[in-house]
Amino acid sequence: MHETAVAESILHTIIAQADKANAKPVSAIISCGQFNTLNDECMQFAFEAAAAGTVCEKTKLVIKHIPLRAKCEQCQTVFEFDVYKPACGQCESKEFDFEPDAPLLLETIEFEG
Amino acid sequence: MKISLNQKILSRNEECAKKNRAFFKENSVLCLNVISSPGSGKTTTISRMIKDVGDKIRMGVVEGDIKTDTDAQKIRDAGGQAVQIETHGACHLSAEQVYNAIKVLDAEKMDMVIIENVGNLVCPSAFDLGEGARVILLSVPEGDDKPIKYPGTFAEADVVLINKIDLMDYIDFNLERVLADIRVVNPDVEIFQVSATTGEGMEQWYEWLMNKSGAAQAAR
């Protein structure tokens, strides 16, 4: 999706934090939802390209995908939504309400030492 | 050493979108963020809106394209006011670009600002522009598989316009499937079937707009 803009944004934050900590960033963990999702390959490529020549050049990027949950209106079961089978896993009802999709988050940064 | 941030990655955009939203609210302007694939008829639809109801609703248009001001020119030819943003390669508009554009447009004097996003069914949906309603256009020739292939885009919509319905007889397009697939990810969305070329179905869409922009003005 919008991986280049995401790469630039997280790079900006990691560099600022690295300056503050006066340490080299080893890895960073980001997470995304299902509707608001990221493509792993594109994201890694965009981050690598953006990080070239910066303190983040060797920083490892970890991308977590958070499942989208929905609550069945019939049996109240909370289940993980699957676009290939959009129904409650318990009673197979197609009447359900989505819980909020996970936002794009920069969760943690790990520094050397 | 590990630090925990849990910071929204696009927070800078979101901050600016908040500013835009406050501006639109304060000035009772209805802002539409129109998103679709290239070629689905965004500019034609907006031009038709200007011609049909431009005397009732004062509209300004923010045009987003990678290159050229072709679309802004088309809007002006239709009698509308337009500002062109050239993104020079970026596949979406950001809230900051819109913030700058609405100043040029004198948007506070409008009833409605229509943002025509860069033609792309994927990236623009991640960027809140501060709009009051997000409008997704899906045209018949694109095929009936789009809602299920781009669920995130349709999940965030307030309105879906199914455009070019005058071509339905010539193209293998399963309307029922489209409606069902949209409802899976977005049960409450408003759906209108229109043809911006023939004008079919546009009345219902205008009715919705009048209500919505009237509500924005009633708050003035």
Q: What is the pLDDT of residue B220?
A: 59
Q: What is the pLDDT of residue A1?
A: 57
Q: What is the pLDDT of residue B89?
A: 86
Distance from the B180 Cα atom to the nearest Cα atom in chain A, whole angstroms: 11
B220 touches chain A (CB under 8 A): no
- String of DSSP letters for B156-196: T-SEEEEE-GGGGGGS---HHHHHHHHHHH-TT-EEEE--T
Rg (CA), chain A: 18
Q: What is the pLDDT of residue A59?
A: 97
Q: Is residue A84, in this structure, part of any structural domain at all? A: no
Q: What is the pLDDT of residue B90?
A: 87
* Structural domain of B73: 12-218
CATH of residue B37's domain is 3.40.50.300
Q: Is residue A74, in this structure, part of any structural domain at all? A: no
Q: Is residue B87, in this structure, part of any structural domain at all? A: yes
Chain A residues at the B interface, defined by Cβ less than 8 Å, are 1-2, 5-6, 9-10, 13, 17, 21, 23, 30, 34-37, 83, 86, 94, 98, 101, 103-113
Distance from the A45 Cα atom to the nearest Cα atom in chain B, whole angstroms: 17
Q: What is the pLDDT of residue A88?
A: 95
Alpha-carbon distances, residue B168 vs A80, B121, B136, B138, B193 (angstroms) = 35, 21, 19, 13, 11
Q: Which of B8, B9, B117 to mutate to test the interface with A (most CBs of A within 10 A)?
A: B9
Closest chain A residue to B155 measured between Cα atoms?
Answer: A35
Average pLDDT score over chain A: 94
Q: Is residue B1, in this structure, part of any structural domain at all? A: no
| Overall domain count for chain A | 1
Q: Is residue A8, in this structure, part of any structural domain at all? A: yes
Q: What is the pLDDT of residue B188?
A: 93
Q: Is residue B211, in this structure, part of any structural domain at all? A: yes
Angle between helices B42-53 and B70-77 (to 10 degrees): 20
Q: What is the pLDDT of residue B219?
A: 63
Q: Is residue B2, in this structure, part of any structural domain at all? A: no
| Overall domain count for chain B | 1
Segment holding B153, helix H or strand E: helix B151-155
**A109: nearest Cα among B15, B12, B7:** B7
How many other C-beta atoms lie within 10 A of the C-beta of residue A47? 25
Contact residues, chain B, for A36 at CB < 8 Å: 125-126, 152
Distance from the A75 Cα atom to the nearest Cα atom in chain B, whole angstroms: 18
Distance CA B65, CA B118 (A): 5
Q: Is residue B35, in this structure, part of any structural domain at all? A: yes
Which residue shows structure tokens 């809106």?
Answer: B49
Which of A34, A104, A109 minimises the CB distance to B9? Answer: A104
* Structural domain of A31: 3-67+101-111
Q: Is residue B3, in this structure, part of any structural domain at all? A: no
- String of DSSP letters for B60-86: EEEEEESS-SHHHHHHHHTT-EEEEEE
Distance from the B155 Cα atom to the nearest Cα atom in chain A, whole angstroms: 7
Asked if B8 and A1 come within 8 Å (Cβ–Cβ), the reply is: no
Q: Is residue B103, in this structure, part of any structural domain at all? A: yes
How many Å separate Cα B117 from the centre of its chain?
7
Closest chain A residue to B94 measured between Cα atoms?
Answer: A5
Digitized pLDDT (tens) for each residue of chain B, 220 residues in all: 999 999 999 999 999 999 999 999 999 999 999 999 999 999 999 999 999 999 999 999 999 999 999 999 999 999 999 999 999 988 999 999 999 999 999 999 999 999 999 999 999 999 999 999 999 999 999 999 999 999 999 999 999 999 999 999 999 999 999 999 999 999 999 999 999 999 999 999 999 999 998 876 776 5
Closest chain B residue to A105 measured between Cα atoms?
Answer: B8
CATH of residue A54's domain is 3.30.2320.50
Q: Is residue B102, in this structure, part of any structural domain at all? A: yes
Burial class of residue B67, CB neighbours in 10 A (0-12, 13-18, 19+): exposed
Q: Is residue A26, in this structure, part of any structural domain at all? A: yes
Which of B6, B92, B94 minimises the CB distance to A107? Answer: B6
Closest chain A residue to B187 measured between Cα atoms?
Answer: A97
Q: Scan residues 156-185 of B and list those with Cβ closer than 8 Å to A.
A: 156, 184-185
Digitized pLDDT (tens) for each residue of chain A, 113 residues in all: 589 999 999 999 999 999 999 999 999 999 999 988 999 999 999 999 999 999 999 999 999 999 999 999 999 999 999 988 999 999 999 999 999 999 999 999 999 97
